[in-house]
Structure 1
Amino acid sequence: MSYIPLSTEKINNIAEEFFLNKINKNHIQRQEKPILTLIAAQPGAGKTKIADHIKQELKQKGGYIHVDADRMREEIPNYAKYPSHVTQADAGKLVNTLRNLAKEARVNIIEEGTFRDSKSLSAFLEKNKQLGYHVEMVALAVPREQSLLGIYSRFEKQKEAGVNARFVPPDYHDNAFNGFRETVKSLENKFDSFRVFNREGQLLYDAKNKGENLTASDVLEKNLISTAEEKIFVLKQMQILKEKAQVREGNTPYIEEFERVIQKEREKRKTTYSFRKKYKSLI
């Protein structure tokens, strides 16, 4: 069965019903100075966990609307029958409509994303500040290797659950990772507030308490470095996931690509180890 895109009227009706239900159910209050919190990190970093922490904060400040494409996709009729890329455009339209409804009502908003495009984010940031929003970024410091494992782990769990699994290609992951880092470096001073957490929810940096020469980018970069032990653990876990997937699928292109990724990460670790051993006295 082919997917028929939703009409503009249907998009508006779905988003408005969702919005009003959240407002009434959770007693979300209009704010004189509403907060827009952007939770930023590369795919697979575990943004959902820190989002739960931010939600608890905003519950004490009048509530919030969580603007999330995956959640809005679930509002599309029979969404589970279609791969996520098929419904992506309509999910995006629902998100935009929901965001606009929240801003018109002047309520707090939470959004998650990679925010890898600093130019478009800068324009988005300024627009919302002009609308009277206090715009905060919460950046998640998770090493690349760990989030790379995260995208495979999430995909395999979704496969086991029998749902439409959403896979993020490693190249997309890496581009988002680098773009996210550049965004933090170039835009951190434009936000009204800025915090950095690690994956476990520990606060690593808060702009209001920063030291004289300390920046969010400095703290982020420092905490994006994996130890040798962490890299070994990631490789072992990726190998376990690949072997389980191979039992399910056989030697499919997905498995072949998975193996190439593992080999690539293994070579990176060897190169880093050799460099450190050779130049130990200099580093």
Structure 2
Amino acid sequence: MVCQNDLASVEADEAGGPVENLDACAVLSARESQDVLEHVILPAATKGAVSQDHPVVVIVGGQPGAGKTEIADWIQAALDRRGGAVRVCRDLYKNAHRAYAAALAADIRTAGAAVRPDTSRWQAEVEEHVRARRLDAVVESALADADEFRTSSKAYRRSRHRIEIVVVATAEAWSQLGTLDRLLDGAAGGEGPRYVAWDNLDTCVEELPATLSVIEAEHLADRITVVRRDGTVLYDNELLNGTWQRRTAADRAVVYEQRRPWSAKETAVFHHALTRAEVRVHRDLPEDERLAVHRDVRRAAALAEPVRRIAQPRRRAPGVDYHRLSADEHRWVFDELIAPSYLSGIITRPDPRAVYVLGQPGAGKLLAARMVRRAMRPGTTHLIGDDFKAQHPDYLRLLREDPRRAGAAIRADYRAWFTQAEQYVRDRRGDVLIEGAPGSVEELFDSALPYAASGYPVELVVLAVREADSRQATALRYARSLQIGLTPRYTTRSGHRTCFNALTDVVTAAERHPAIAAITVIRRDGRALLRHEAGGAGSVSWALAAERARPYTEQEAAAFFRLHHGLWRALPQHRDELEEMLALARPLMPPAMQPARIDRPQPSLWSLPVTLQGAAYEASSSFSRAA
């Protein structure tokens, strides 16, 4: 064995990046290296492999920690059905090097680089053996060097191998965590930890797309497939008769997946894996190695920041969810989805106005807003909270899983979009019509006062609707959505009650506030009950309360009961709530529709007090004697 010291730098354990200040490097003599190759590595690697008339080599590419090994296992299993394939990977040969254990003991960060001259030579010899004997092969590679792949491609072309590439695209945060898990697995399993330097990982992430671009441009492979860690195919292209079947975009597919914002589930899985890795660092590593390796945990967390979701607390177990979008994804949704879809028709006005249509859930705001919209000028922007909810990538799934709490889970994002949309309209001085079910006075004024400060006259159109009627309307909307196969939403009892009570407070505060130019109270059918203008007598809250307490007409009562019976059949799982709605409505029903009252029995004659048995006997005896 020849030992070379004082090297300024040695290539890193994985292809692509340097490791500086390496103290020592162990290189076997040519004879010993050849002996290990012929008697240890080649017999193990080629066991079971058979020559093929049409051999195939599949290069599984990706940065360190991307998950190449698992994907390569799947491909190996498929090729084994052709008679067996050779697995080629430099990491597989490290334990065959007699200096590797000592290098690990000296410094796990430089052990791989110390034996790299021999493991690289062994990999080259194994690949040459594969080509010479026309064997199928699965090769793991970082694909971080375009020139290196050019050389490899030419060699496989000469041996008439079909060259296929499967690239595992993943975010760098997962790769950093993957390299850490691999290190910990090696330490726990006795195989020795395999460390990947940060600059090496970064270099591989950066160079992978460039290498793929060269491969497609120069036709260096016959097929390229880009997959996620779980095997989901993101991109697939094949070279037939010298022409790619699709527009070349492997590099863009990889970059997209590296930068793609994560879902709530992906974020939760990552946090769980990160916590597990941190526990393993303290449990499985010697104390002198923990500090250096624990930095990888913190770095993985930092790399996840641009793509992960934001944690938000919840009262129900597990106490946290990840439905709040990352800053980049939140901004993208507004710029690319909301602004073009809902804010593109603004007409700038010298005298813009803002009108709010307010009511608790189920009050009939949609129809009322349409009526108001017809009376407003062209170019009025109509802002509805439900439109913004639908832009959240989790909303439809949350509706399917829990239709009563889906809105609360994404409230932070859609409320922020709504506020941003309001500012967008104000900046362009456009008319605006806003539907809302405010949960507090502050919620309304936080929205309305900026318009007033910008010179908008602010008007409120308030729907006065009985609590029972609006709750029944939310149940009807839910039942109809289920019936026609839509994804339904259903307001909770507490949510409805909060908005119902808050509307009274909102009207009371608004009729005294100088920023509110006018308030109009209307019924559900659009009939105006009262209009109040700034400076007038405050009677709006009285009109709202009076309409909410107005007794049902016989026609209204009959319609309520018809809907109640239909919902009773359609929503058996919600019958307790339907009974609550009926109980709210009964006191306002016509006398003929009130349930029969069971009064206290009142007999025409009251019985005399019953005397004791002894006294009765004595009285009877006296009457007998008198007779």
Q: How does the TM-score come out when normalised to structure 2?
A: 0.38
- Measure how far apart 1:178 and its partner are: 2.0
How do 1:157-168 and structure 2 match up within 5 A? Answer: 157-168=480-491
Correspondence 1:203 to 2:528: yes
SS of 2:455's equivalent in the other structure is: coil
1:130 aligned to which of 450, 453, 458: 453
Correspondence 1:72 to 2:388: yes
How much is the aligned-residue C-alpha RMSD, in angstroms? 3.1
- Of stretches 257-266 and 232-241 in structure 1, the one that deviates more from structure 2 is 257-266
Residues 1:132 and 1:164: Cα distance change in structure 2 (over 3 Å): same
Contact 1:235–1:265 (8 Å) recurs in 2: no
Partner AA of 1:14 in structure 2: V
Q: Give the distance between the partners of 2:411 and 2:587, measured in 1 at CA.
A: 34
Partner AA of 1:53 in structure 2: M
- Structure having greater relative contact order (Cα 8 Å, sep ≥ 6): 1
- Of stretches 132-141 and 201-210 in structure 1, the one that deviates more from structure 2 is 201-210
Equivalent residue for 1:16?
335
Equivalent residue for 1:44?
362
Equivalent residue for 2:431?
108
Contact 1:34–1:108 (8 Å) recurs in 2: yes
Q: Give the distance between the partners of 2:443 and 2:532, measured in 1 at CA.
A: 23
SS of 1:112's equivalent in the other structure is: strand
Aligned residues: 262
Equivalent residue for 1:279?
none
Equivalent residue for 2:348?
30
Correspondence 1:227 to 2:543: no
Residues 1:269 and 1:188: Cα distance change in structure 2 (over 3 Å): closer
Q: Give the distance between the partners of 1:51 and 1:94, measured in 2 at CA.
A: 20
Residues 1:182 and 1:265: Cα distance change in structure 2 (over 3 Å): same
Contact 1:65–1:110 (8 Å) recurs in 2: yes
Partner AA of 1:152 in structure 2: A
Q: Give the distance between the partners of 1:262 and 1:116, measured in 2 at CA.
A: 21
In structure 1, list runs of 5 or more residues that go unmatched: 247-251, 275-283
Q: Give the distance between the partners of 2:510 and 2:361, measured in 1 at CA.
A: 20
How do 1:258-269 and structure 2 match up within 5 A? Answer: 258-262=577-581, 264-265=583-584, 268=587
Residues 1:196 and 1:262: Cα distance change in structure 2 (over 3 Å): closer
Residues 1:76 and 1:44: Cα distance change in structure 2 (over 3 Å): same
Contact 2:517–2:534 (8 Å) recurs in 1: no
CA displacement 1:74-119 (0-9 Å, x = unmatched): 2234642332334343222222222221122221222212224124
SS of 1:194's equivalent in the other structure is: strand
In structure 2, list runs of 5 or more residues that go unmatched: 1-262, 266-321, 400-405, 596-627
Equivalent residue for 1:280?
none
- Measure how far apart 1:187 and its partner are: 1.6
Contact 1:145–1:226 (8 Å) recurs in 2: no
Residues 1:70 and 1:202: Cα distance change in structure 2 (over 3 Å): same
Residues 1:163 and 1:268: Cα distance change in structure 2 (over 3 Å): same
Contact 1:137–1:194 (8 Å) recurs in 2: yes
Larger Rg: 2
Partner AA of 2:482 in structure 1: K
SS of 1:43's equivalent in the other structure is: coil
SS of 1:200's equivalent in the other structure is: coil
Q: How does the TM-score come out when normalised to structure 1?
A: 0.78
Partner AA of 2:480 in structure 1: K
- Measure how far apart 1:33 and its partner are: 2.8
* Percentage of matched positions with identical amino acids: 19
- Measure how far apart 1:244 and its partner are: 2.0
Correspondence 1:174 to 2:174: no
Name the one with the larger helix percent. 1
1:143 aligned to which of 457, 466, 473: 466
SS of 1:180's equivalent in the other structure is: helix
Contact 2:353–2:458 (8 Å) recurs in 1: yes
1:241 aligned to which of 557, 567, 582: 567
SS of 1:189's equivalent in the other structure is: coil
Correspondence 1:55 to 2:373: yes
Contact 2:355–2:434 (8 Å) recurs in 1: yes
Q: Give the distance between the partners of 2:522 and 2:455, measured in 1 at CA.
A: 26
Q: Give the distance between the partners of 2:350 and 2:587, measured in 1 at CA.
A: 51
SS of 1:52's equivalent in the other structure is: helix
Residues 1:46 and 1:10: Cα distance change in structure 2 (over 3 Å): same
- Measure how far apart 1:132 and its partner are: 1.6
- Of stretches 79-88 and 171-180 in structure 1, the one that deviates more from structure 2 is 79-88
- Measure how far apart 1:41 and its partner are: 0.9
SS of 2:530's equivalent in the other structure is: strand
- Of stretches 225-234 and 105-114 in structure 1, the one that deviates more from structure 2 is 225-234
- Measure how far apart 1:214 and its partner are: 6.9
Residues 1:114 and 1:259: Cα distance change in structure 2 (over 3 Å): closer
- Measure how far apart 1:152 and its partner are: 1.0
CA displacement 1:150-199 (0-9 Å, x = unmatched): 11111111121223321112343233212202211232232112212211
Q: Give the distance between the partners of 1:165 and 1:37, measured in 2 at CA.
A: 28
Q: Give the distance between the partners of 2:431 and 2:472, measured in 1 at CA.
A: 32
